[in-house]
A and B are shown apart, each in its own frame.
Chain A
Amino acid sequence: MLRAVALRAGGVLALLAIWWAVAATHLWSEVFVPSPGSVWHQLLQTSTTHDGQRGYAGHLLYEHLWASLRRILLGSLYGVVGGIVLGLVIGLVPTVRALLGPLVTFVRTLPPLAYFSLLIIWFGIDESPKVILLFVAALPPVAVATAEAVRGVHEDYVFAARSLGARRWQIPLRIVLPSALPEIMTGVRVAVGVAYTTVVAAETVNGVPGIGGMIRDAQRYNQTDVVVLGLLTIGASGLLIDALLQLAERRLVPWRGRS
């Protein structure tokens, strides 16, 4: 345990050292490779009000982060709920599988940016198209994982429940859904990952506050240190969220891989 922590800390430190060394050679200008020091400076600048300027583009760093996280959480939440329902129906009803299966696969293969333009035309440039984009992006992984898991539930679990007096209509919620939970949790982690990779794209249009909007603005003014800061912020929060999801998974499906 201690060893694992030490290894990880060592890895991060080594990367920082390499970054610092590369920047210190000044082979490339600050615009291409900002030094760790200037990124740290930007972290302080964007987190405080200074010279009458509040954070970056009028919002503190945590406000940018929270705006992005809120979109990710809402989009993922809708996507997870919708994906589970859709996956259950697709997995249980062959007719629906034949009807909707190809559609889900079609949407899954589309790059989210491809349909973002359509969403903007339909829903404008405020919050809704962003959250809807993440919802559409997060839904297919959950739906596919759920449908696969539902079809993979061993029929003896269903038979056991029926022999214990469970009614046919009780089977989907009482047996199939909990049986499929381990795979669904994997789908949820993938979905949140997809939402993460999509949020920056969603924030390229009217994305301030938001980490994506911040990165976009900084890019316009060649503020590479702010771009890097945005990347690190969104990445670090992603690691944290995934750790939380793993924890939830261990709590929710402790039998995973052992039954």
Chain B
Amino acid sequence: MPSPDERAPDERAADERAAAVSLREVSLTYGGKRRGGGVFGRAFKSADPVDALRDVDADIPGGEFVTIVGPSGCGKSTLLRLVAGFARPTGGEVAVAGAPVTGPGPDRGVVFQQPRLFPWLTVRRNVEFGLRTAGASAAERRARSDELLDLVGLSDSAGRLPHELSGGMQQRAAIARALAPGPRILLMDEPFAALDALTRERLQEELRRIWRRTGTTILFVTHSVDEAVFLGTRIIALSRRPGRIVLDETSTLPGEDDPHTHPDFPGRRERVAATVRAAAA
């Protein structure tokens, strides 16, 4: 059960050369024909076909923190769910580490907007869920969950049930749970959108710290330009439906000690915001 930071340096370097995620002319139209996206063959149902994404192309190298920003309904969450394997594109190809995505898997951890912790399991058992499915021994599970709970600052809440935690703590636990199997990529779908402003800022800062420490590739969907610029070493903006990439640029801001007060921050935020505004109109 190697976590990314425990892997051999040459292995990590190889990962970083190879595209962690590659999107080739990815399109998704739903409603037109049935596509068994759900686990039990549940299909998207819609009277008229909806073009959610059209010809999205991107190569994301390992280790990057990619933020995907765009107006609501632009298909950014859909894009993330395609990478997660919760749905299949109707055109093009989604590949992770060179292999086409055919379904969900432990190489891609997912954090949802709602924490979606299993309410019948304690925080620790939630974190250990992905270790149990991988057949880790009790001792391994214990050690790894201790490490992850410490990473997200929940060591004191290991034995509590999710409903006993605040929203922010639940989302931390969800992050620890998603990291537990040592995923190559962490997919985050507006994970802080439902939190209050103070908690959101604190969690953004912590996520930056976790990313630096684990080196995991992160795809982070948000509708907040501020959040996208603060966190992303690469910022991708999508147009409104059908979603297309209208901006794709790299940034060194997240490497700074305090991106918010950096002189480049306001300019970049304004530029991204203008692009998103133009794309939404």
Residues of A within 8 A of B (CB): 92, 154-168, 170-171, 175, 178-179, 181, 253-255, 258-259
A178→B118 contact, CB < 8 A: yes
Knowing A92-B40, A159-B86 touch, does A164 contact B177 (C-beta < 8 A)?
A: yes
Output the nearest chain B residue to A160 by Cβ-Cβ distance.
B116
A156 engages B116 (CB within 8 Å): yes
Taking CB atoms, residues of chain B closer than 8 Å to A164 are: 106, 109, 129-130, 133, 177-178, 180-181
A165-B134, A175-B118 as given contacts; A255 in contact with B163, CB under 8 Å: yes
A165 and B161 contact, Cβ closer than 8 Å, known pairs A156-B112, A156-B116, A178-B120? no
Q: Are A259 and B105 in contact (CB under 8 A)?
A: no
Partner of B120, one of A92, A154, A167, A181: A181
Centre residue among A165, A167, A258 by max chain B CB count within 10 A: A165
Contact B133 A166 (CB under 8 A): yes
| The 3 nearest A-B residue pairs measured at CB | A164-B130, A165-B133, A165-B106
Cβ-defined contact, B110 with A160, below 8 A: yes
Complex Cα distance, B86 from A155, in Å, reads 10
Q: Is the CB of A157 within 8 A of B39?
A: no
- Are B39 and A255 within 8 A (Cβ)? no
Q: Does B54 contact A (CB under 8 A)?
A: no
Nearest B residue (CB) for A175:
B118
Q: Which among B39, B85, B106 has the greatest number of chain A C-beta atoms within 10 A?
A: B39
B84–A155 CB distance below 8 A:
no
Select one of A158, A165, A181 contacting B39, CB under 8 A: A158
Total number of residue pairs linking A and B with CB closer than 8 Å: 78
What is the CA–CA distance of A51 and B129 in the complex, to the nearest angstrom?
67
Distance between B179 CB and nearest chain A CB, rounded to angstroms: 11
What are 25 A-B contacts defined by CB distance under 8 Å? Answer: A155-B38, A156-B116, A158-B39, A159-B84, A160-B112, A160-B116, A162-B39, A162-B85, A162-B103, A163-B84, A163-B85, A163-B108, A163-B109, A164-B129, A164-B181, A165-B181, A166-B129, A166-B133, A167-B133, A168-B39, A178-B120, A181-B120, A253-B120, A255-B161, A259-B119
Max chain B Cβ within 10 angstroms of own Cβ: one of A160, A162, A258: A160
- Residues of chain A within 8 A of B129, CB atoms compared: 161, 164, 166
Answer whether residue B262 sits at the interface, using C-beta atoms and an 8 A cutoff.
no
Enumerate B77-124 residues with CB–CB distance to A below 8 Å. 84-86, 103-106, 108-110, 112, 114, 116-120
The main secondary structure of chain B at its interface with chain A is loop
CA distance A226 to B119 in the complex (A): 48
B7: interface (CB < 8 Å): no
Q: B63 in the interface, Cβ–Cβ < 8 Å?
A: no
Write out the residue numbers on chain B whose beta carbons fall within 8 Å of the beta carbon of A92.
40
Give the residues in chain A near B106, CB-CB below 8 Å.
163-165
Which residues on A sit within 8 Å (CB–CB) of B112? 156, 160
Closest to A167 in B: B133
Known contacts A162-B39, A165-B133, A165-B181; A255/B162 CB under 8 A: yes
B202 lies within 8 A of chain A by Cβ: no
Question: Smallest Cβ distance from B20 to chain A, in angstroms?
Answer: 16
Residues of B within 8 A of A156 (CB): 112, 114, 116
Distance A156 CA – B114 CA, assembled complex (angstroms): 9
Please measure, in the bound complex, the distance between the C-alpha atom of A179 and the C-alpha atom of B116, giving whole angstroms. Answer: 11
B-side contacts of A175, CB under 8 Å: 118
State A164–B177 Cα separation when bound (angstroms).
8
- Given known A171-B39, A175-B118, A178-B118, contact A258–B163 (CB-CB < 8 A): yes
Nearest B residue to A92 via CB reads: B40
Interface centre among B110, B120, B161 (most CB of A within 10 A): B120
Instruction: Give A178 to B117 CA distance when docked, in angstroms.
Output: 12
Nearest-CB residue, chain A, relative to B38: A155
Among B85, B118, B163: residue with most chain A CB under 10 A: B118
Task: Enumerate chain B residues within 8 angstroms of A258, measured Cβ to Cβ.
Answer: 163
In the bound complex, what is the Cα–Cα distance between A259 and B117 (angstroms)? 9
B253-279 CB contacts (< 8 Å) to partner A: none
Instruction: Tell me if A157 and B134 are in contact (CB < 8 A).
Output: no
* Residues A163 and B110 in contact, CB atoms below 8 Å apart: yes
Q: In the bound complex, do residue A162 and residue B163 qualify as a contact, i.e. CB atoms below 8 Å apart?
A: no
When distances are taken between beta carbons in the complex, the residues of chain A under 8 Å from B119 are 179, 255, 259
